[in-house]
Amino acid sequence: MTAHPFDAPASQALLERALAVTPGGVNSPVRAFRAVGGTPRFMASGSGPYLTDVDGREYVDLVCSWGPMILGHGHPAVVDAVSTAVSQGFSFGTPSENEVALGEEIVARVEPVEQVRLVSSGTEATMSAIRLARGYTGRSLVVKFAGCYHGHVDSLLAQAGSGVATFALPDSAGVPKEMAAETIVLPFNDLAAVEEAFAARGSEIAAVITEASPGNMGVVPPAPGFTDGLRRITAAHGALLISDEVMTGFRCSAAGWYGLEGPYAAGAPDLFTFGKVMGGGFPAAAFGGRADVMALLAPVGPVYQAGTLSGNPVATAAGRATLQQCTPELYARLDEVADAITGALDTELGRAGVPHTIQRAGSMFSVFFRDGAVTNYDQARAQHVPAFAAFFHSMLSQGVYLPPSAFESWFVSGAHDDAAVDRIVSALPAAASAAAESFATIDS
């Protein structure tokens, strides 16, 4: 395979055009390559497990649109569903059968979810779930965990991992201090801290929101008993538990992270949020849970939430077609591919003497360039980020597209066949050597 040069002239030309009309030249910060350096690749097309950029270079894709492309790019069943939906109209501003069918698919897969409301983004889903929890409890405080990202909701951006960690921003400008004061930020996987917060202010706390298995500081699964402990504590104090499965939902299993870890002895979360896979690559998300809580939403109840494109017929057709292809055989293949890549990654980094830890949530995984298990945000941030940048560019030059940040999850798809996996594995020795050189620079 021919190595890709560092320069990408067609992408650079598009970046220069974009910089004139868009802050940073991108519409989502992590795409800018600021954490790794170089020119962000502008993609022209995707097919199966591959992306092709505007310079005509092909890459094995381990971003998968940050999770949604669980079937790979351009899956025929999804293309057919979208084509049919488009031929019947783009958007109606009325109810349609597709949104009902997608809602039924979600409710059938996640046992505690009795009703759902469709929205257009994960941020909308978490924002709406928080509003609903406050309306249900009559309280205002929300507990979240450092390193968990729940979209760019004002009050949830404190210590939010993901892009915020990538850009070394502790919070975000533009968030009023009064709004930030409505959020209590605690260390992830620390039940004692949760107990202490509820002992002090339990009567004011409306909800605890947690990523079911965080993937926005790298993959950091909850410790055994942590989620069950959250359910026990919130139930004892009359607060709701919101499980954010925007990333893990239908990705880790047919029922998301809940399908791997649940049911919980103390009971299920009250609300869930979903996105990414359930939209099949289109803007679609949802929040849902217990029927008595969901009954507070307008037009039935007093908690208002609305969206012009919520339940869009094209997006819901793509989402439903995607979920229908998410079979036991697909999840078995995702695990097989993740096993092969993480096994080879561990071997090559070890052979090169690179300190590392690889962590997984289902088929999602990431590598931390440091020794020892990572259980919280502080530990995730303690890795050697320059080593990741060196590793990233070596893989990119060999035609493997990784997330351009050390604080993101890697994703695979059902389209990653043996040939795609072999290309990834064959690129690892050189990338491990590049990471080792980065560590050697520190020691010298």
Helices (H), 38-75: none
292 is catalytic: no
DSSP reduced 3-state for 271:
strand
Amino acid at 6: F
Amino acid at 26: V
Task: Decide if 242 contacts 271 (C-beta within 8 A).
Answer: yes
Residue written as tokens 């409306």?
206
> Which residue in the list 149, 264, 377, 401 is annotated as catalytic?
149
Give the H or E element holding residue 125: helix 122-137
> Which residue in the list 244, 270, 331, 377 is annotated as catalytic?
244
Residue 315 to residue 99: CA distance in whole angstroms? 9
276 is catalytic: yes
Residue 133 to residue 210: CA distance in whole angstroms? 14
> Which residue in the list 61, 270, 276, 401 is annotated as catalytic?
276
Residue written as tokens 């050597």?
433
Residue 358 to residue 105: CA distance in whole angstroms? 33
Task: Decide if 410 contacts 62 (C-beta within 8 A).
Answer: yes
How far lies 79's CA from each of 71, 85, 279, 291, 315, in Å? 11, 10, 13, 33, 11
Q: Which string of DSSP letters, residue by residue, matches 127-195?
A: HHHHHHHHHHHS--EEEEETT----S-GGG-TT--HHHHHTT-SS-TT--HHHHTTEEEE-TT-HHHHH
Catalytically active residues, by annotation: 149, 244, 276
